[in-house]
Amino acid sequence: MKKLSPKWEPYIFVAVMAFGMSAVVSFVSIILNIGFVDHLGMIWLSSWVKAFLIALVPAFFMRKIAIFILGKVINRN
C-alpha cells in the first residue's frame, strides 16, 4: 500500500477529528433529546452525516486558530 505524503497529515487529522467528534456529539445529543427509540440507528446516522459535513469546514479554520493560540501561550525554547 502506498503511503501519503506528510503534507496531507494536517488535512487528514482534521477530517478524522471532525468524523469522530461529530459522531459522538450527534449520538449523545440524540440520546439526551429523544432517548432510546425505535430506529435510533437510522435517526443517528442521518443526523451524523449532516453534522459531519457541517463540522468539517469549521474544523479546518479552527485548526489554524488553535495553532495561532498555542503559539502565543506555549513557550517553545
pLDDT, one tens digit per residue, over 14-59 is: 999 999 999 999 999 999 999 999 999 999 999 999 999 999 999 9
In DSSP notation, 13-51 reads HHHHHHHHHHHHHHHHHHHHHH-S-TTHHHHHHHHHHHH
In a domain, 3, yes or no: no
Residue 77 — very low, low, confident or very high, per pLDDT cuts 50/70/90? low
Buried b / exposed e across 22-45, counting CB within 10 Å, b at 16+?
bbeebbeebeeeeeeeeeeeeebe
pLDDT for residue 10: 87
Which residues constitute the domain of residue 23?
8-70
Q: How many domains does the chain have?
A: 1
